[in-house]
Amino acid sequence: MPIQNWECPYCGHAQTVTDNKFDDRYSIIRAGDKHDEYFAIGRLAIICSNEECRKLYLHLTLNSRNSRDEVREDPIVTWQLLPNGIAKPQPSYIPQVLISDYNEACLIINNSPKASATLARRCIQGIIRDFFGISKSRLIDEINELRKQVESKQIVEITGEVIEAIDHVREIGNIGAHMEKDVNVIIDVEIDEAQILIELIETLFEDLYVARYKRQERLRKLKAVADNKDAAKKSAASAAAGGSAPPPQP
């Protein structure tokens, strides 16, 4: 059956993937005997239908199975092979240093959620400094200043709810950024927790940078329309007054 509402991770093009554009199957691993656990390799390969993209998406899983080759759907391990990581394409008008931190946080999330959370923390600090112009020695001080400006309506692009989410990112990211006083105390960050931080970055990119760009584009187009109308009005007024100015005397 076709895959509905699939979004290409390369170009962001949403599409229905028809049967000839994807390959979704399991390959049975025949190694082992009745005393061993049985396995299968699952693969999902999709070719993007966007003519300007046409790239291959490839995702693998390792699944357990029983002796009758019935595969258990919950994978033991997953591999995102192509593209390498879960990062979504981001527009070029977002600062490259922020995109770089975001891409790296996505790239390492499965192998090191703690390091991914640390990069997410750094990326969000960069957003606060770049977009809002708030820069202090500590992230918590920057967040407090951001909260103060939102409460006083100096900043209207985000809400107090979003600031609370940013503060949670700081707390989770601190696990990777700062060692506990007792080095024997180990606090892990789970993959799904790091994933939530990445999703917050994507939300901030969309609500701040993309929204600002779209707003500027709308205003630019409006100004262009107004300028064209003004030029047409002046041309019509000139024609009504007797046409163009007389040619210069030789």
Note whether residue 197 is domain-resident: yes
Question: How many Cβ atoms from other residues are within 10 Å of residue 149's Cβ?
Answer: 16
The residue-averaged pLDDT of 201-217 equals 95
Q: Are residues 54 and 100 in the same domain?
A: no
Q: Are residues 126 and 59 in the same domain?
A: no
Note whether residue 63 is domain-resident: yes
Which CA distances in Å does 222 have to 106, 216, 217, 226?
Answer: 38, 10, 8, 6
Longest dimension (CA), the chain: 107
pLDDT of 61-88, one tens digit each? 999 998 888 999 889 988 888 888 788 8
Instruction: Evaluate the CA torsion angle 224, 225, 228, 233 in order and state its sign.
Output: negative
Domain count, the chain: 2
Percent of the chain whose predicted confidence (pLDDT) is above 70: 91
Q: Are residues 38 and 118 in the same domain?
A: no
Q: Are residues 97 and 201 in the same domain?
A: yes
Q: Rounded CA gap, 128 and 166, in Å?
A: 10
pLDDT of 145-181, one tens digit each? 999 999 999 999 999 999 999 998 888 887 655 544 5
Residue 243, pLDDT score = 55
Question: Tokens 């940078």 belong to which residue?
Answer: 209
Q: Report yes or no: 167 and 197 within 8 Å, Cβ to Cβ.
A: no
Residue 245, pLDDT score = 53
Residue 221, pLDDT score = 93
- Is pLDDT of 226 > 70? yes
The residue-averaged pLDDT of 16-20 equals 90
Most confident range (mean pLDDT) of 27-31, 84-88, 128-132 is 128-132
- CATH value at residue 140: 1.20.120
What distance lies between CA 189 and its chain's CA centroid? 20
Q: Residue 197's pLDDT band (boundaries 50, 70, 90)?
A: very high
Q: Is residue 83 reached through a cis peptide bond, with omega within 30 degrees of 0 on the bond before it?
A: yes
Note whether residue 59 is domain-resident: yes
Q: Are residues 42 and 119 in the same domain?
A: no
User: Across-strand partners of 82?
Assistant: 58
Q: Which domain holds residue 194?
A: 85-212
pTM: 0.71
Helices (H), 82-184: 96-107, 113-132, 139-151, 160-177
Question: What single DSSP character describes residue 88?
Answer: P
Question: Tokens 């790091």 belong to which residue?
Answer: 194
Q: Report yes or no: 25 and 42 within 8 Å, Cβ to Cβ.
A: yes
Q: Residue 104's pLDDT band (boundaries 50, 70, 90)?
A: very high
